[in-house]
């Protein structure tokens, strides 16, 4: 039994999109939860098993899996051959895992530091900064057209996600902007966004 705890229009939207892209919506139950939102609406949901009541959380036979990179690794390993990741144990899988870990451990912190207008030599030394992140994306996309080469994968789905939400954060680089637009245009993403928008309406006061 696998259940995804999803707050519409949040980071868990990435995982609902992954379910669509992998064609496994019948294998994972999706439970809608509330979270506190930046605009002051929402609240921590007692039904949410995430230790900090964040979204997403995936529960698989009582095990709570958090962090999108880990959830993506778990689902793509559990349901191989669904087209969103290389086969586990291949060299390509190592590159795939690198993109997911780099996203969680480097790119998201770098973007958050910039958003919060934070800079410090320790941050720079630990994470580097936006120009190094841009160079890394550009180097992959020069080979492209996707991060892993000729196939769209869950690496593209995760890594493009902050740029899809925050257009201003997208580097002013044609190659990267084109890639973000191609990721944004995926039919699975558009379907999930439409469903999320409908769910958001149901939480608005009448």
Please tell me the distance from the alpha carbon of residue 174 to that of residue 127, in angstroms, as a whole number.
24
Smallest separation (angstroms) from ligand GSH to the CB of 141: 22
Q: What is the contact surface with ligand GSH in residues (CB under 6 A)?
A: 10-11, 35-36, 53-56, 67-68
Q: Which is nearer to ligand GSH, 38 or 185 (by Cβ)?
A: 38
Smallest separation (angstroms) from ligand GSH to the CB of 90: 25
Smallest separation (angstroms) from ligand GSH to the CB of 14: 8
Please tell me the distance from the alpha carbon of residue 18 to that of residue 12, in angstroms, as a whole number.
10
Q: Which is nearer to ligand GSH, 113 or 138 (by Cβ)?
A: 113
Q: What is the DSSP letter of 167?
A: G
How far is CA 182 from each of CA 20, 32, 118, 175, rounded to the nearest angstrom?
17, 28, 31, 11
Q: Which is nearer to ligand GSH, 123 or 175 (by Cβ)?
A: 123
> CA 28 from chain center: how many Å?
17
In contact, 30 and 58? CB cutoff 8 Å: no
Q: Which is nearer to ligand GSH, 30 or 175 (by Cβ)?
A: 30
């Amino acid at each position: 039994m696998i259940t995804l705890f999803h707050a519409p229009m949040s980071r868990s939207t990435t995982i609902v999109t992954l379910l669509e892209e992998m064609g496994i919506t019948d294998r994972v139950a999706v439970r809608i939860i509330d979270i506190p939102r930046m605009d002051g609406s929402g609240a921590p949901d007692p039904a949410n098993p995430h230790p900090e009541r964040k979204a997403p959380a995936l529960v698989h036979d009582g095990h709570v899996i958090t962090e999108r990179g880990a959830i993506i690794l778990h689902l793509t390993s559990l349901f191989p051959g669904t087209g969103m990741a290389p086969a586990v144990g291949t060299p390509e899988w190592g590159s795939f895992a690198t993109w997911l870990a780099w996203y969680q451990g480097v790119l998201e912190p770098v973007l958050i530091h910039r958003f919060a207008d934070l800079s410090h030599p320790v941050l720079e030394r630990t994470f580097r900064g936006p120009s190094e992140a841009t160079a890394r994306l550009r180097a992959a996309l020069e080979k492209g057209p996707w991060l892993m080469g000729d196939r769209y994968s869950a690496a593209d789905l995760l890594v493009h996600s902050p740029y899809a939400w925050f257009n201003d954060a997208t580097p002013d680089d044609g190659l990267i902007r084109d890639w973000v637009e191609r990721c944004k245009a995926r039919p699975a993403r558009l379907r999930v966004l439409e469903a999320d928008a409908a769910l958001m309406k149901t939480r608005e006061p009448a």
